[in-house]
Amino acid sequence: MPAKVIVRNLSKRYGGVEAVRGVSFEIEAGEIFGLLGPNGAGKTTTLECLVGLREADAGELKVCGLDARKHPQEVKQRIGVALQSTALQDKITPREALKLFGSFYREHAEPAALLARFALTEKADARFDTLSGGQRQRLALALAFVNTPELVLLDEPTTGLDPQARRELHAEILQMKRDGHTVLLTTHYLDEAEQLCDRIAIIDHGRVIATGAPHELIARSSASQSVTLVTIPAVGAERLARVPGVNELRCDGATARFRTERPTETLAALAALLAEQRVELVELQVKKASLEDVFVGLTKRADGVTSPGAEQASVAPKASAGSRGSPR
């Protein structure tokens, strides 16, 4: 199956600001794909170019098999978009908004079905300005689904929501994938990306610095594992610091915390040391690196001037793919 989204060498500048500098990635059909990056990295600009809200300066953009730069109106019929905040008139109700948005499309779903799907039936006739943040976000998703889109683009869909509302939206996003939609989302929540996304691209300073499945990026990264060690009596900090692979050592009484990039070697040497010193092991915890560790490591290293080889962390896509907003 051809890729649902192909972005090649996308560039966009705002006056003197090079917001996007040669971004490339592909999204397979049926995938949940995450765009991650620090504030100002170029995620929203990339997304806005894809959905025709901004004109790219250069690059190739293919969406649902169409050239998105040449046929933006046709692309809009096939996608659903939920931008960072949905601005609707205060007095409009969810039912009216769904009817209005539906009228912009050749084919559209019935408002009642969308209200039920996004748990808004009870609020169907409530004014927009009386909806809670979570209800507004659910309405944004419902609006993104009004044309039964092949590809859904969600820009920070869970920002500002409480943990329960976030969980509900996660369930909605996973349901979109199960229903065969391709999903592109941007997020600042690394745990969310790790949990939801089949693959991600990390963008920094307008460039892609890594792409791949979250677990592949973690496995390939040099992000170190964290170790907590409690012994009676304490092993001295000086002695622990000499164990191969031990980095960022912090000792507090009987508890020592450190990181290691070579856990097997470090733990073997540690076990020998404890036996030799005849100290009692009370607790030993080894925690794998998280996507957050990888993200922080990569974006810190990239810091402004990314090296030409910065796309090194690329991992081949799995066969599998989409966000919200103004549909027009």
160 near ligand ATP, judged by CB under 6 A: no
What is the residue type of 135?
A: Q
**Torsions phi, psi for 17 (to 5 deg):** -95, 120
Cα(245)–Cα(288) distance, integer angstroms: 15
- Of the candidate residues 7, 27, 36, 41, the single one contacting ligand ATP (CB under 6 A): 41
Q: How far is the CB of 56 from ligand ATP (least distance, A)?
A: 12
Q: How buried is residue 48: exposed, middle or buried, by Cβ count under 10 Å (0-12/13-18/19+)?
A: buried
**Ranges within 259-278 binding ligand ATP (CB under 6 A):** none
37 near ligand ATP, judged by CB under 6 A: yes
Q: How far is the CB of 20 from ligand ATP (least distance, A)?
A: 7
Three-state SS annotation for 91-122: CCCHHHHHHHHHCCCCCCCCHHHHHHHCCCHH
- Of the candidate residues 1, 16, 39, 178, the single one contacting ligand ATP (CB under 6 A): 39
Q: How far is the CB of 116 from ligand ATP (least distance, A)?
A: 32
CB closer to ligand ATP out of 48 and 150: 48
CB closer to ligand ATP out of 41 and 97: 41
Q: How far is the CB of 30 from ligand ATP (least distance, A)?
A: 25
129 near ligand ATP, judged by CB under 6 A: no
If you count them, how many residues does the chain have?
328
167 near ligand ATP, judged by CB under 6 A: no
- Of the candidate residues 5, 25, 30, 45, the single one contacting ligand ATP (CB under 6 A): 45
The residue among 25, 74, 39, 86 whose CA lies nearest residue 210 is 25
Q: How far is the CB of 48 from ligand ATP (least distance, A)?
A: 8
Cα(14)–Cα(227) distance, integer angstroms: 45
Q: How far is the CB of 194 from ligand ATP (least distance, A)?
A: 18
Q: How far is the CB of 86 from ligand ATP (least distance, A)?
A: 15
- What are the tokens at 16? 């003197």
4 near ligand ATP, judged by CB under 6 A: no
Q: What are the strands, taking DSSP E only, across the chain? A: 5-14, 17-27, 32-36, 58-63, 66-67, 79-82, 151-155, 182-186, 199-204, 207-212, 225-232, 247-252, 255-260, 280-287
CB closer to ligand ATP out of 59 and 111: 59
DSSP string across 180-206: T-EEEEE-S-HHHHHHH-SEEEEEETT
- Of the candidate residues 4, 25, 32, 43, the single one contacting ligand ATP (CB under 6 A): 43
CB 71 within 8 A of CB 51: no
Q: How far is the CB of 268 from ligand ATP (least distance, A)?
A: 43
Q: How far is the CB of 242 from ligand ATP (least distance, A)?
A: 43
- The answer to whether the peptide bond before residue 157 is cis (omega within 30 degrees of 0) is no
- Of the candidate residues 3, 7, 10, 42, the single one contacting ligand ATP (CB under 6 A): 42
- Of the candidate residues 3, 7, 10, 19, the single one contacting ligand ATP (CB under 6 A): 19
Task: Give, in degrees to the nearest 5, the angle at Cα 187 between 114 and 260.
Answer: 140
Cα(322)–Cα(222) distance, integer angstroms: 29
Strands 255-260 and 247-252: antiparallel
Stretch that binds ligand ATP, among 37-45, 166-174, 240-248, 314-322 (CB under 6 A): 37-45
122 near ligand ATP, judged by CB under 6 A: no
207 near ligand ATP, judged by CB under 6 A: no
Give the total of residues touching ligand ATP (CB under 6 A).
11
Residues that bind ligand ATP in the complex, under the rule CB under 6 A: 14, 17, 19, 37, 39-45
